[in-house]
């Protein structure tokens, strides 16, 4: 059964050039939405747009750095102005550093927050302003690192945890205006960001041992959850943090 209520909607997806963002843009377009994707690099954005258009969907690319307030806000506002509305925002773009906490510089610490947390704030604030009279759906992407402690990724873990509770507060403020705010929480997903780790057979096998379903996620599986939360089928769902992780966050791993 098709998802209800995305036909003709205007959706904006950050970090839409690859991985979960690209899969989400493709899925939303398949459901009939006009999708605007943004990111720092033009070439991958154009490739995703071409793929959507080749399948008969509607999409356009905007080059913008989510970690720069003026660029990201302007990109969202301009998209809404061009198309007369904004119905869906997916804050997917992220950046991270890793390394031992004892060796993490203040600059590296802050680098985890600018795109992931500040960008999510700037995008959510802008969308809530644009959606005040018409309502809409905002989906923010966190990580299992934001719910479970992750060694060597303290900054990223803190940033992704912040997204979850920020989104709950935003959901409480937006509810009466019909603005729903939800979070999707992936674990390990087969994307360019994890390609290095997963290309090593031993590392991939060890990772998959920790997941009850026995495999890492596919970007399309995250996109399906995001599309559902964006749609009218989720019309009474807001303030939710939904793990889409093959059961990884549901279990206590005591041995490999």
Per the prediction, the chain carries an average pLDDT of 94
pLDDT in tens, 31-50: 999 999 999 999 999 999 99
Tell me what pLDDT residue 252 has. 84
Compute CA distances 66 → 131, 231, 244, whole Å: 20, 24, 24
pLDDT tier for residue 238 given thresholds of 50, 70 and 90: very high
Catalytic residue among 72, 96, 156, 236: 156
pLDDT tier for residue 195 given thresholds of 50, 70 and 90: low
pLDDT tier for residue 154 given thresholds of 50, 70 and 90: very high
Tell me what pLDDT residue 255 has. 60
Phi, psi of 62 (to 5 degrees): -130, 125
Which helix (H) or strand (E) segment holds residue 125: the answer is: helix 119-130
Which pair of structure tokens corresponds to residue 71?
Answer: 């660029």
Q: Which tops the pLDDT comparison, 193 or 19?
A: 19
Checking DSSP bridges between strand 58-63 and strand 88-91, what pairing results, if any?
Answer: unpaired
Residue 210 has pLDDT above 60, yes or no: yes
pLDDT tier for residue 72 given thresholds of 50, 70 and 90: very high
Tell me whether residue 236 is one of the annotated catalytic residues: no
- CA–CA gap between residue 32 and residue 116 (Å, rounded): 28
Q: Which domains does the chain have, with CATH numbers?
A: 10-94+128-143+163-242 (3.40.50.720)
Compute CA distances 1 → 4, 19, 228, 233, whole Å: 9, 25, 12, 11
Residue 1 has pLDDT above 60, yes or no: no
Which pair of structure tokens corresponds to residue 126?
Answer: 């802008």
Which pair of structure tokens corresponds to residue 79?
Answer: 């998209």
pLDDT in tens, 84-126: 999 999 999 999 898 999 999 999 999 999 999 999 999 999 9
């Amino acid at each position: 059964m098709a998802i209800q209520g995305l036909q003709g909607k205007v959706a904006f997806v950050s970090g839409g050039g690859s991985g979960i963002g690209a899969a989400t843009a493709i899925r939303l377009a398949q459901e009939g939405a006009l999708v605007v994707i943004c990111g720092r690099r033009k070439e991958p954005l154009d490739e995703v747009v071409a793929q959507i258009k080749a399948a008969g969907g509607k999409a356009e690319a905007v080059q913008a750095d989510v970690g720069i307030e003026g660029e990201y806000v302007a990109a969202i506002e301009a998209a809404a102005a061009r198309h007369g509305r904004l119905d869906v925002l997916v804050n997917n773009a992220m950046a991270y550093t890793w390394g031992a906490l004892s060796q993490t510089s203040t600059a590296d610490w802050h680098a985890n927050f600018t795109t992931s947390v500040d960008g999510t704030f700037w995008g959510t604030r802008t969308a809530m302003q644009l959606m005040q009279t018409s309502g809409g759906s905002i989906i923010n992407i966190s990580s299992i690192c934001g719910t479970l402690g992750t060694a060597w990724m303290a900054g990223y873990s803190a940033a992704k945890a912040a997204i979850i509770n920020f989104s709950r507060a935003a959901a409480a403020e937006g509810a009466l205006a019909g603005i729903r705010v939800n979070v999707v929480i992936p674990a390990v997903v087969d994307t360019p960001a994890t390609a290095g780790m997963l290309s090593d057979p031993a590392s991939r096998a060890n990772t998959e041992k920790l997941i009850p379903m026995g495999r890492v996620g596919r970007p399309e599986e995250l996109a399906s959850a995001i599309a559902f939360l964006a749609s009218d089928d989720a019309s009474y769902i807001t303030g939710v943090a939904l793990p889409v992780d093959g059961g990884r966050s549901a279990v206590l791993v005591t041995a490999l």
